[in-house]
């Protein structure tokens, strides 16, 4: 007898307690305690809830006796349907007795037999015998297999049916094929239904929307064989006279027509009509899409009935970053800009140390293919410890998504950006080329590939992510600098228990200048901060001048390992992490950095609709002159 008290922070009604008691009782009985009884009592004065549990003895299933002469299925296979979970190491002990499983097993056995053609199979209700101490159970059932029905001859009722149904002979051959042992396929009530559906489907694919079919079932012969006879009336073969769209006056008819795989003059095909409906749904513009043929005879109109949904949205999202401080994100999007099916999106973010704005026009069906075109203009200004990074740019990209949900994609495009490093504070001890304000116009081609296999983009708990990109800037493209940049990143999440997740990430980049060119400050790699090595302030890990101002490098590496623990019904997470990273002045030292640094720390995360509010405390085990022993980061979103 066990009692458990807990103070409830909200009102509890008796029905809630009854449901909880039933759930606990059901769980115990499923674990082999057939006499388990559970109840809850609530003290209205104190708010305390008492749970009373009488588990009783645990009962194992000692024997399952199968009477009759079951031959079709092995007795050992049938007995498994009665058994509950097994005890012992690795579940290799005796099975426990679960009454609900025992009583449902006869229905499962009957389904197995009927699926194999024994339409008259019957199984008696189980007889359950418990030992005096109620710790062992014996079950007895009687099985009557009955005769087996097999599929005999399948024929067309008349030559017209055989000629009208495409591939009728192949259909019959596949349906009546014998297995490796020479057994004919079983006959079940589903067989004539499936045959009729396949006949109508083939006629619809051939352009006959009004086709009808009848499958007649003969009485079984002495050997149990059942013959089938099919008759079909195909009706007229229809051609599309016109394609119309009703219910959406805003969208350009030419765009709607591009989503239909059927045009005027095409032979009607049910597969093409279904694909057209799916393509209209894929736009995201409609809550419902129906299609129908209008008219009679061989020339008919194909009509799509559309129920539109709102396609315009505006959002305001506050945020905070340990470096940028308070920030506000604004945005507006029209997913059906001017009825063209394209998306016009504007997004801006203002923070104490940063200002960003982007305007993009996205066409999800570029050249009427499964390609996404993206034209964008952006402005980005960010204050860094040793300079102000300012960029104005534009880009044109084409993306191919390799799966339906866009979790694997490749993009290729051209980008141009006018970059400036302002208020540069780099002095003695830094490369000579980094000491003054710098400007550079950079034009490049960029190829990127992304694979997303995490279970959630905001708070992932399992799966993996990988992304790689290569950028080539050259004077032939209109660039003032020539270089090649490679950036790789990946993460893996491994759930250890229901509440514990091990997460790891590896990120790196290298830029190789060509000829006599050198990378300006605004194109170099930096490390340290809330999403990198968290034991350092923003950009503070890596090479610096004599005054401690970071100068970046041509290459960077970052590795993160984090243990995440759920607290309080997954509303709060705790984390223990280790980060390591480096910045190399020379790209050739990318994979063998001379001065790698590391740190460790702890964190708390509180889940919000926009992502987790994250507080990380990073500790530097070997701080150098000018470095902090610990750094506190407050931000929104997971580090990786």
pLDDT in tens, 164-174: 999 999 999 99
The span from the CA of 256 to the CA of 565, in Å, is 49
**Residue 8: which pLDDT band, with cuts at 50, 70 and 90?**
very low
CA gap 434, 543 in Å, rounded: 12
Q: Rounded to 10 degrees, what is the CA torsion of 81, 85, 87, 88?
A: 100
pLDDT at 110 over 70: yes
Average pLDDT over residues 396-402: 94
* Bridge partners for 492 per DSSP: 464, 504
Q: What is the pLDDT of residue 569?
A: 60
83 neighbors 102 (Cβ within 8 angstroms): no
d(C-alpha 588, C-alpha 416), whole Å: 27
* pLDDT for position 214: 97
Judge whether residue 5 has pLDDT over 50.
no
Which of these ranges, 80-89, 191-200, 263-272, has the smallest mean pLDDT? 80-89
Mean pLDDT of 88-96: 84
pLDDT value for 6? 41
* pLDDT of 224 above 80: yes
From its phi and psi, is residue 445 left (phi > 0), alpha (psi between -120 and 50) or beta?
A: beta
Report the chain's mean pLDDT, rounded to a whole number.
91
Count the Cβ atoms, other than its own, within 10 Å of residue 476: 7
Going through 514-584 in order, the beta strands assigned E by DSSP cover 555-567, 572-584
Q: Which of 12-16, 276-280, 422-426 has the lowest mean pLDDT?
A: 12-16
Cα 157 to Cα 129: distance, rounded to the nearest angstrom:
56
For residue 3, pLDDT beyond 60:
no
pLDDT tens-place string over residues 488-517: 999 999 999 888 999 999 999 999 999 888
- pLDDT bin (cut points 50, 70, 90) of residue 7 is very low
Q: Quote the pLDDT of residue 299.
A: 96
Q: What does the pLDDT read at residue 2?
A: 34
* Percentage with pLDDT > 70 across the chain: 97
- Percentage of the chain beyond pLDDT 90 is 75
State whether residue 102 is helix, strand or coil. helix
1: pLDDT strictly greater than 60: no
Q: How far apart are CA 563 and CA 603, in angstroms?
A: 10
Cα–Cα dist 104/123, whole Å: 11
User: What is the Cα–Cα distance from 176 to 149, expressed in whole angstroms?
Assistant: 13
Q: Which of 42-51, 200-209, 427-436 has the lowest mean pLDDT?
A: 427-436
Phi first, then psi: what are they for 99, rounded to 5°? -60, -40
Are 123 and 139 in contact by the 8 Å Cβ rule? The answer is no
- Which pLDDT does position 251 carry in this prediction? 95
6 against 126, higher pLDDT:
126
Give the residue from 504, 490, 558, 488 showing the smallest Cα distance to 526.
558
Residue 560 has pLDDT above 70, yes or no: yes
User: pLDDT value at position 372?
Assistant: 94
pLDDT of residue 9: 43
Torsional class of 157: left (φ above 0), alpha (ψ -120 to 50), beta (otherwise): alpha
Beta strands in 474-567 (DSSP E): 483-495, 500-513, 555-567
pLDDT at residue 285 in the model: 94
Helices and strands, number each (H, E), in the chain: 8, 29
Any bridge partners for residue 456, and if so which?
Answer: none
Residue with the bigger pLDDT between 369 and 557: it is 557
Summarize pLDDT for 122-146 with one digit per residue, the tens.
Answer: 999 999 999 999 999 999 999 999 9
Average pLDDT over residues 374-381: 97
The helix-helix angle for 190-205 and 270-282 (nearest 10°) equals 80
CB contact at 8 A, 473 and 414: no
The pLDDT value recorded for residue 582 is: 96
Task: Give Rg (Cα) of the chain.
Answer: 35
| Mode of pairing for the β-strands spanning 212-217 and 343-351 | unpaired
- What is the Cα–Cα distance from 173 to 190, expressed in whole angstroms? 18
């Amino acid at each position: 007898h066990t009692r458990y008290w807990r103070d409830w922070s909200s009102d509890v009604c008796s029905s809630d307690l009854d449901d909880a008691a039933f759930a606990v009782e059901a769980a115990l009985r499923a674990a082999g305690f057939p006499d388990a009884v559970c109840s809850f009592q609530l003290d209205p004065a104190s708010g305390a809830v008492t749970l009373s549990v009488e588990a009783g003895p645990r009962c194992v299933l000692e024997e399952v006796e199968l009477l009759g002469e079951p031959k079709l299925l092995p007795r050992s296979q049938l007995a498994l349907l009665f058994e509950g979970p097994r005890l012992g190491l690795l579940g290799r002990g005796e099975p426990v007795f679960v009454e609900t499983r025992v009583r449902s097993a006869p229905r499962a056995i009957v389904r197995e037999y009927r699926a194999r053609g024994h339409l008259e199979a019957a199984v008696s209700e189980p007889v359950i015998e418990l030992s005096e101490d109620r710790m062992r159970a014996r079950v007895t059932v009687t099985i009557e297999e009955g005769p087996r029905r097999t599929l005999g001859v399948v024929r067309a009722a008349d030559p017209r049916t055989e000629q009208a149904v495409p591939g009728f002979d192949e259909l019959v051959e596949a349906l009546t094929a014998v297995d490796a042992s020479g057994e004919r396929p079983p006959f079940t009530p589903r067989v004539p239904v499936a045959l009729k559906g396949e006949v109508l489907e083939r006629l619809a694919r051939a352009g006959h929307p009004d086709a009808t079919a009848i499958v007649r079932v003969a009485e079984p012969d002495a050997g149990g064989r059942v013959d089938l006879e099919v008759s079909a009336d195909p009706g007229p073969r229809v051609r599309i006279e016109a394609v119309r769209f009703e219910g959406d006056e805003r969208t350009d008819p030419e765009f709607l027509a591009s989503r239909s795989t059927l045009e005027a003059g095409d032979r009607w095909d049910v597969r093409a009509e279904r694909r057209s409906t799916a393509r209209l749904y894929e736009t995201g513009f409609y809550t419902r899409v129906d299609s129908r043929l209008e008219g009679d005879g061989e020339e008919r109109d194909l009509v799509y009935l559309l129920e539109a949904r709102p396609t315009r949205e505006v959002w305001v999202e506050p945020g905070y970053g340990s470096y940028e401080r308070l920030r506000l994100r604004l945005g507006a999007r029209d997913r059906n800009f001017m009825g063209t099916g394209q998306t016009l999106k504007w997004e801006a973010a203002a923070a104490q140390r940063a200002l960003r704005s982007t305007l993009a026009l996205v066409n999800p069906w570029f050249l009427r293919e499964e390609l996404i075109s993206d034209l964008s203009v952006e402005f980005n200004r960010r204050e860094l410890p040793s300079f102000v990074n300012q960029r104005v740019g534009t880009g044109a990209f084409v993306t191919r998504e390799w799966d339906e949900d866009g979790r694997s994609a490749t993009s290729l495009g051209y980008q141009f950006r006018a970059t400036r490093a302002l208020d540069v504070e780099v002095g003695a001890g830094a490369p000579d080329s980094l000491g003054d304000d710098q400007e550079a116009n950079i034009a490049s081609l960029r190829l990127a590939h992304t694979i997303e296999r995490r279970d959630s983009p905001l708070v992932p708990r399992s799966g993996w992510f990988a992304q790689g990109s290569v950028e080539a800037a050259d004077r032939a493209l209109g660039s003032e600098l020539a270089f090649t940049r490679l950036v790789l990143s990946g993460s893996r999440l491994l759930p250890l228990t229901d509440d514990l997740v091990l997460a790891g990430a590896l990120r790196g980049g290298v830029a190789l200048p060509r000829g006599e060119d050198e990378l300006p400050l605004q194109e170099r790699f930096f490390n340290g901060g809330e999403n990198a090595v968290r034991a350092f302030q923003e950009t503070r890990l890596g090479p610096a001048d004599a005054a401690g101002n970071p100068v970046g490098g041509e290459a960077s590496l970052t590795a993160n390992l984090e243990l995440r623990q759920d607290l309080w019904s997954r509303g709060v997470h705790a984390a223990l992490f280790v980060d390591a990273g480096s910045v190399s002045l020379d790209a050739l030292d990318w994979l063998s950095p001379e001065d790698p640094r590391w740190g460790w720390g702890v964190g708390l995360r509180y889940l919000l609709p926009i992502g987790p509010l994250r507080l990380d405390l990073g500790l530097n085990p070997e701080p150098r002159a000018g470095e902090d022993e610990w750094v506190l980061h407050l931000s929104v979103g997971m580090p990786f």
